[in-house]
Amino acid sequence: MSEFAPTLLFKLAQLLAESPGINYYVDGTNGSDANHGKDWAHAFQTIQQAITTQIANTSNLGDVIYIAPGNYAESLTGDLTRVALIGVSSNYPWHIVSIRPTAGSAYHGTLFEAMFKNLCFLSSDTTNKTLPAVLLDNARYSIIEDCHFVGRDPTCVEGLQIGPTAIDDVTECHLDYCIIRRNRFDTWYGTASEFTHAIKMGDVGGAGGGAKQVFGTTIEDNIIYASSYGIYMLVGTPNADFTIVRRNLIDSMTAETGCSVAGIEFTGGNFPAFADNRINAADAIIYPAGGTERTFFNCVTNAGAGPVMELPVST
């Protein structure tokens, strides 16, 4: 079952790469939102206009929005279905296409069979600075890869948030059969501006994990710097099944001892796998004692005199 999501999503990536739907183009320097957006010569100026136009196209056959390098002062909204947002960064890294909101999140919405690639998402530096850089109400069968999440203010909290950030014991949210890979979470605005939680579902310490689900998802090959938690998932006992967390490097930019609470914490779930992670934190992995057939392979934390193998702390 755990192989199902990567296989399906690889086929999705191929589908989007071949673009059987409509290609849209965004150029913040030379484009205009009065254009039709279907070639570079008639590109949109804003990413939001491309999203709005794509959503209005209800055929949803696998559209692609190509975004030219530049700084986009936008707070993107809209539920994305069968569409890829790809930063055209050529030989340059992800931050060449930067989404820099002045109020709220760089993106807030739902992903279904969608993709973010080669994009830089910054937290707000003016208004609502505590909101996540990216806030997903739900995500299914989607990919977030080769992206950069950047904290811009000491009050920023989450890099990638799934579901409500405040205490909420009833709202359902899902991160099902998704892939989050090769992303970086950090800051270039002074170490104090790193995220408190890099990747998070629900609210820390909250109840209502039964309404939150991370099923068949893979979180891999990410570089994560956060002050408290690298990855935190508020889920019920059966609600993180067949999820894989592997080959992530988790640390803090503000403390030599790493994340102050944990590198990874799952509050529930059966049959997850935590493999080959490298963690510098007060606790490498926190996972409930009642979990079923949990597996931990070569998760290393920096403790004491040097790196050691550390078993999870049961709660």
> Residue 98 above 70 pLDDT?
yes
Q: Which residues pair with 246 in a beta bridge?
A: 220, 275
Domain containing 269 equals 4-309
Inside any domain, residue 200:
yes
Rounded to two decimals, the pTM is 0.87
Whether the pLDDT of residue 13 is over 60: the answer is: no
Q: Report yes or no on 108 lying in a domain.
A: yes
Give the per-residue pLDDT at 307: 46
Which pLDDT tens digit goes with each residue over 139-150? Answer: 999 999 999 999
Residue percentage of the chain with pLDDT more than 90: 57
Q: How confident is the model at residue 4, as a pLDDT? A: 41
**Mean of pLDDT values over 3-22:** 55
CATH of the domain at 285: 2.160.20
Express each pLDDT in 174-230 by its tens digit.
999 999 999 999 998 888 999 999 999 988 877 655 678 899 999 999 999 999 999
Does residue 314 sit within a domain? no
Instruction: Say yes or no to pLDDT of 128 above 70.
Output: yes
Domain contains 315: no
Q: What is the pLDDT of residue 24?
A: 96
Model confidence at 3, in pLDDT bands (50, 70, 90)?
very low
Looking at the domain assignment, is residue 176 inside a domain?
A: yes
Q: Determine, yes or no, domain membership for 242.
A: yes
More confident residue, 299 or 84: 84
Residue 77 in domain: yes
The count of structural domains within the chain is 1
Determine the pLDDT at residue 149: 97
